[in-house]
Amino acid sequence: MSWRAALWVLPALLPVATILLAGLGSALLQSLGLMPLVGAPELTIEAYRMNTGDLATSAALSLAIATAATLIGVVVGVTTALTAVTGRRFALWAGTLTVPVPHLIGAATMGLLLADSGLLARLFGLSEGGWPALVGGRWWIAVVLEYAWKESAFIALVVAAVLATRVAAYDDTAAVLGASRRARLRLVTFPLIRPAVVAAATISFTYTLGSYEVALLLGRVYPEPLPVLAIRLFTSVELATRPQAAAAAVVTAVLALLAVAGALMMLRRSAVWR
């Protein structure tokens, strides 16, 4: 049955895998000097060596933003899904409205809302310098909040679907057997939704790690997250920075693949995988 299932997904998997492998392979070859824009190919790691400090700083910043946004998104998303199961579905319904909103529009909205001359600053009367630097500030607060706001709705929908299908019957059985609400959450609900939470959080983390538009609009000029660094180097008028841009893209892809590999290792230990 596994081979038949694999054959069914091949028509969709092959084009995606071809595009993905071609893009990653091209970036890797260019970062190693094997596909130069001018000159003869020559194997070198100069693109990584020239930007070692920037790559390390950008990688740490990207991981921090993605981790913070994903953790907040998981907490908000799981709480929203649990609230919807109890019958109060307004939060989940409101969250679904944000799913089709592009991150670019979300970033512009956050900027208009949280900037020092934005809506909240004017409402509180703190537009004369008393408002904290949420946009373009030291801690990338607006960037994290935008990603968390958008991704929490996605996580809530995934978890709510699992709660409405697999968890409901087990929860009712545990209630009939006398388990309290807290015991059902700890022993039934959370273990059963853990695979869905891990999968949704991994998707959210990898997307945030590789996205650049929100950080470009709401973040600081320096340091830069890896995707912003890659975009800036790639669009530079100096063609010599193209290998460095490819190196930043390769580092981003490696971090994302490591996150996916870690999530798969966690999922393999769950009963759902077996």
Asked if the model's pLDDT at residue 274 lies above 70, the reply is no
- The CATH number for 65-268, chosen from 3.40.1190.20, 1.20.1430.10, 3.40.50.10950, 1.10.3720.10, is 1.10.3720.10
* 167 close to 153: Cβ distance less than 8 angstroms: no
* 226 close to 62: Cβ distance less than 8 angstroms: yes
Asked if the model's pLDDT at residue 1 lies above 50, the reply is no
Rounded percentage of the chain residues whose pLDDT exceeds 70:
95
Question: Residues 66-80: pLDDT tens digits?
Answer: 999 999 999 999 999
Q: List the one residue out of 263, 158, 144 whose CA is nearest residue 211.
A: 144
Provide the pLDDT for residue 57: 94
Higher pLDDT, 90 or 157: 157
Cα separation of 23 and 110, whole Å?
A: 32
Q: Where are the domains of the chain?
A: 65-268
Question: Residues 253-267: pLDDT tens digits?
Answer: 999 999 999 999 988
Angle between helices 52-85 and 90-98 (to 10 degrees): 140
Question: Residues 93-150: pLDDT tens digits?
Answer: 777 788 888 889 999 999 999 988 888 888 888 766 778 888 988 899 999 999 999 9
Q: List the one residue out of 132, 160, 142, 153 whose CA is nearest residue 68.
A: 142
- Give the residue-averaged pLDDT of 143-169: 88
3-state secondary structure of 101: coil
Question: Residues 11-41: pLDDT tens digits?
Answer: 888 888 898 899 999 999 999 998 887 778 8
Asked if the model's pLDDT at residue 90 lies above 80, the reply is no
Cα separation of 126 and 55, whole Å?
A: 37
